[in-house]
Amino acid sequence: MPVWIDGGPRRRRVRRTVALAMLPALAVGGAAALLSTTNIVGDPQLTAGNEVTFTGQGNGHGRGLGQWGAFGYAKSGWTAEQIVAHYYGGSQLSRADTNLPVRVQLTTQKTANVLAPAGAKIGDQQVAPGQAVRIEGGNAVITTGCGGPVIKTVPAGDGTVNPLNAQPGRPTAELLKFCGTNATYRGAVAAKDGKVFNVVNIEDYVRGVVPVESKAEWADQGGYEALRAQAIAARSYALAEGAKRGDAYNDTQDSQVYGGASKEDPRTDKAVASTAGLVMAKNGYAVSTEFSSSTGGFTAGGDFTPVKDDGDVVSPYRNWTQQVPTAKIAQEFGVGAFKSIRVTKTQSGQAARVEAVEIVGANKTVTATGADVRKKLGLRSDWFTIDGQAPAAAPAPGAPGTAGAAPTSVAPGAGTAPSGSTPAPVPGTVVDRQIVAAPVDPFNPVPTAPNAAQAAPEAAGTATAAAS
């Protein structure tokens, strides 16, 4: 996602993808907040050399679960099951196979050069405990340890260094460790086309995601259920996006931030273990459960129905102000000497996220999306206004987000507020059922059975965000 928590994964040696046991009792609707657009009038009076002041709400793209909102709901007494039901309307809590593998590119590792404290295997060659193995082209160079003398050079096979014991939950002292960085990872390490990958059990993978995408200390502040909700979201996203992205699934916020075993924390380990196998699903398949740091009080929609996010009241990013030099605006959009900037279109309703911005310069005029402005100018979200610009005209009576609008519908069990006046959602019963699996090639993870996640349109921006 991620921005904070600002953020998929592929697979391992088992050749399969996931069809999930659906839990009808937890089908969620969510508030049906329709998003139309509103044209804005009025230009701020700005001159070259000034700064432009942006005032906004939220941190990140705002789609799906809001991490600060989840924390707020958890502190108010909601469970993780209630939290994910609220944010991911239309999907169901389901249980996936806990033995499924994930394959994730390790972007900070440039070579597959690992120490095997408990031994390993590369191709047909066993690597003794304490020895290291370095993959060079189609060969594996085995040494007495990191930087030690060469023992032998053997064919690297498929380029995967497998620990002798690859069972989930192994002691840290037994795990593969990268020479030079000491970064430790569960599962196997693989090299392909100049890239390095970790092939790891889904539960072990989530253990390395939650503490870096969320805040482990929330467990000490009444927010343990928010960490459990983060584990469910991280697991769902990995299974859905891993199959779709293949080698493009990595350890950054472009997919999900993943720190491996080096970043694990006992508090988040507990949250992961308590939700083992739980995912959000539609039509039997895990869905891309995007999340971001802070929604600003209302989610952005996307694949899930926009909902009010009262839990976000605890977020330090619920409201923000940022000043951006006009010179930076002109440079980022290539308009020449800066003349003016104005919002020309927003979504109407409770979250007036920006859809279009006009930037005028001496050389040309550019119209950009709110998301593009957010990215290029380093704004916290695309829900903002520009100081000095006249406010938008009020939507017509009956339009979404106005007093005359039709009341939004809330499906049974989809609560909208953590207060005592609004009933909290009721979690469904998780029922174990056999998983329907389809074969998957670990280096070409395209399932033979259709996956709903693959058919879904690509979401703009990142999938995650970091709660900072």
3 located within any domain: no
Burial track 6-31 (b if 16+ CB lie within 10 A, e otherwise): bbbbbbbebbbbbbbbbbeebbbbbb
Which pLDDT value is given to residue 417?
37
Which pLDDT value is given to residue 134?
97
305 located within any domain: yes
- Supply the mean pLDDT for the chain: 79
The β-bridge relationship of strands 65-66 and 291-292 is: parallel
- The residue with greater pLDDT, 226 or 421, is 226
Taken in order 271, 28, 253, 204, the sign of the CA dihedral is: positive
85 located within any domain: yes
- The span from the CA of 8 to the CA of 235, in Å, is 9
Burial track 386-425 (b if 16+ CB lie within 10 A, e otherwise): bebbeebeebeeebbbeeebeebebbebbbbbbeeeeebb
The β-bridge relationship of strands 354-361 and 285-286 is: unpaired
80 located within any domain: yes
The amino acid sitting at 209 is V
6 located within any domain: no
- The span from the CA of 182 to the CA of 178, in Å, is 5
Judge contact between 204 and 175, C-beta under 8 A.
Answer: no
Are 25 and 162 part of one and the same domain?
Answer: no
Above 80 in pLDDT, residue 31?
Answer: no
Above 60 in pLDDT, residue 224?
Answer: yes
Which pLDDT value is given to residue 34?
31
247 located within any domain: no
- pLDDT band per the 50, 70, 90 thresholds, residue 391: low
CA-wise closest residue to 108 among 162, 173, 178: 178
- The residue with greater pLDDT, 386 or 46, is 386
Above 70 in pLDDT, residue 201?
Answer: yes
Above 60 in pLDDT, residue 28?
Answer: no
Q: What is the mean pLDDT of residues 280-297?
A: 93
Are 148 and 287 part of one and the same domain?
Answer: no
Are 135 and 273 part of one and the same domain?
Answer: no
Angle (deg, nearest 10), helices 266-274 and 224-245:
70
Are 306 and 399 part of one and the same domain?
Answer: yes
Judge contact between 288 and 143, C-beta under 8 A.
Answer: no
Which pLDDT value is given to residue 244?
85
Which pLDDT value is given to residue 301?
82
Above 50 in pLDDT, residue 84?
Answer: yes
How many distinct structural domains can be found in the chain?
A: 2
Above 60 in pLDDT, residue 138?
Answer: yes
C-alpha dist (Å) from residue 136 to 249, 285, 372, 439, 442: 23, 38, 40, 29, 20
Above 70 in pLDDT, residue 386?
Answer: yes
Q: What is the mean pLDDT of residues 355-364?
A: 97
89 located within any domain: yes
Judge contact between 47 and 287, C-beta under 8 A.
Answer: no
Above 80 in pLDDT, residue 390?
Answer: no
Q: What is the mean pLDDT of residues 97-109?
A: 94
Above 70 in pLDDT, residue 176?
Answer: yes
Q: What is the mean pLDDT of residues 92-118?
A: 94
Are 231 and 319 part of one and the same domain?
Answer: yes
Above 70 in pLDDT, residue 121?
Answer: yes
Above 60 in pLDDT, residue 409?
Answer: no
Please give the model's pTM, rounded to 2 decimal places. Answer: 0.78
191 located within any domain: no
Which pLDDT value is given to residue 146?
97
Which pLDDT value is given to residue 282?
87
Judge contact between 300 and 238, C-beta under 8 A.
Answer: no
Using the 3D structure, point to which of 362, 378, 408 is the last residue of a domain: 408
Q: What is the mean pLDDT of residues 28-48?
A: 42
Q: What is the mean pLDDT of residues 34-60?
A: 65
pLDDT digits (tens, 9 = 90+) for 412-437: 233 333 433 333 433 333 334 433 33
Using the 3D structure, point to which of 363, 383, 408 is the last residue of a domain: 408
Are 85 and 122 part of one and the same domain?
Answer: no
Are 311 and 385 part of one and the same domain?
Answer: yes
Which pLDDT value is given to residue 313?
97
Q: What is the mean pLDDT of residues 81-109?
A: 94
- pLDDT band per the 50, 70, 90 thresholds, residue 322: very high
- The span from the CA of 131 to the CA of 144, in Å, is 5
Other residues' Cβ atoms within 10 Å of the Cβ of residue 452: 16
Which pLDDT value is given to residue 349?
72
- pLDDT band per the 50, 70, 90 thresholds, residue 261: very high
Which pLDDT value is given to residue 399?
46
Which residues span the domain enclosing 159?
Answer: 115-182
Which pLDDT value is given to residue 242?
87
Are 163 and 52 part of one and the same domain?
Answer: no
Are 219 and 80 part of one and the same domain?
Answer: yes
Question: What does the block give as tokens for 267?
Answer: 């508090």
Judge contact between 61 and 381, C-beta under 8 A.
Answer: yes
Which pLDDT value is given to residue 197?
97
Strands across the sheet containing 150-155: 150-155, 139-143, 131-136, 113-116, 176-178, 184-185
Q: Which residues contact 391 (CB under 8 A, 6 or more apart)?
A: 42, 385
Are 29 and 132 part of one and the same domain?
Answer: no
Above 60 in pLDDT, residue 131?
Answer: yes
- The span from the CA of 462 to the CA of 8, in Å, is 11
Share of the chain above pLDDT 90, in %: 66
Are 378 and 305 part of one and the same domain?
Answer: yes
Residue appearing with tokens 């060659």: 125
Residue appearing with tokens 């800066």: 338
Which pLDDT value is given to residue 10?
30
Above 50 in pLDDT, residue 200?
Answer: yes
Q: Which residues contact 387 (CB under 8 A, 6 or more apart)?
A: 44, 52, 53, 54, 55
Low-confidence winner among 10-19, 89-98, 176-185, 298-307 (lowest mean pLDDT): 10-19
Using the 3D structure, point to which of 353, 376, 408 is the last residue of a domain: 408
Are 400 and 302 part of one and the same domain?
Answer: yes
Q: Which residues contact 419 (CB under 8 A, 6 or more apart)?
A: 76, 310
pLDDT digits (tens, 9 = 90+) for 162-174: 999 888 889 999 9
Judge contact between 102 and 8, C-beta under 8 A.
Answer: yes
